[in-house]
Amino acid sequence: MTATPHRRGADRTEAIMRATLELGQEIGYAKLSIEGVAARTGAGKHTIYRRWSSKGALLLDSLLSLHEPGLDYPATGDVIADLRTQIYAAVDLLAGPPFGPLFQALVGEAQHDRQLAAALNERFITPQADKTVARLRAARDQGQLSPDFDLDLAMAILSGPLYFQFLITQEPLTHGYVDRILAALFTGMGRRA
């Protein structure tokens, strides 16, 4: 039995995305090219450009389609423990092997490519921020946080130091650093007497 044209197209798409990740890991984002991916897969570069407008768009799709980040919050009833678990997972995904350098390059590239920035925000950053705000809202509604605390600001306070270290200082993101951020944040977020 032969594969349907749709299945062959899906197989080709998956092969292109896998080759993108393999090449990205081997040579880094700066040297990654549509031409290199085309050569690795035997696909024409025009075939790739019809599906993805840039190597950044191809890498984003490859990272998120083939390796869907499992960054959902546990529901233990302890907001700090839940945040810690989720942020540890995010740090491990974004800063560790095998894809940390590719995520870092992608976020950096998004600073120069508005289309890529919009796609990254829509597909990864906004959904994660929404999950965090929802978890904080639940904690506030349960009386674990001050009723007047600004949840969007809390999200910015949680993510800002991580992105600063991830992109600007390029110091390692560690679980210990996450613990320091949470401790500093929750000192000011606790329920008032």
Q: Does some domain include residue 173?
A: yes
Q: What does the alpha-carbon distance between residue 114 and residue 34 come to, in Å, rounded to a whole number? A: 19
Residues 102 and 13 in one domain: no
CATH code: domain of residue 103: 1.10.357.10
CB 91 within 8 A of CB 99: no
Q: How do residues 18-27 score in pLDDT, each as one tens digit?
A: 999 999 999 9
Query: Number of structural domains, the chain?
Result: 2
Predicted confidence (pLDDT) at residue 4 exceeds the cutoff of 80: no
CB 17 within 8 A of CB 62: yes
Percent of the chain scored above 90 by pLDDT? 56
Query: Last residue of some domain: 23, 40, 66?
Result: 66
Predicted confidence (pLDDT) at residue 2 exceeds the cutoff of 60: no
Q: What does the alpha-carbon distance between residue 78 and residue 84 come to, in Å, rounded to a whole number? A: 10
Q: What does the alpha-carbon distance between residue 12 and residue 129 come to, in Å, rounded to a whole number? A: 33
Q: Does some domain include residue 47?
A: yes
For residues 136-167, one letter each, b for 16 or more C-beta atoms within 10 angstroms of the residue's C-beta and e for the rest, the string is bebbbeeebbeeebebeebbeebbebbeebbe
Q: How do residues 54-81 score in pLDDT, each as one tens digit?
A: 999 999 999 988 766 667 788 888 999 9
CB 140 within 8 A of CB 151: yes
Q: Does some domain include residue 71?
A: no
Q: How do residues 80-128 score in pLDDT, each as one tens digit?
A: 999 999 999 888 888 888 888 898 899 989 999 999 999 999 998 999 8
Residues 54 and 86 in one domain: no
Q: Does some domain include residue 153?
A: yes
Q: Does some domain include residue 72?
A: no
* DSSP secondary structure of 149-167: --HHHHHHHHHHHHHIIII
- Give the pair of three-digit tokens for residue 187: 């000192």
Give the chain's largest Cα–Cα span. 71
Helix (H, G, I), strand (E, B) or coil at 136: helix
Q: Does some domain include residue 13?
A: yes
Assign residue 42 a region (left: φ > 0; alpha: ψ between -120 and 50; beta: otherwise). left
Q: Does some domain include residue 46?
A: yes
Q: Which domain holds residue 184?
A: 79-189
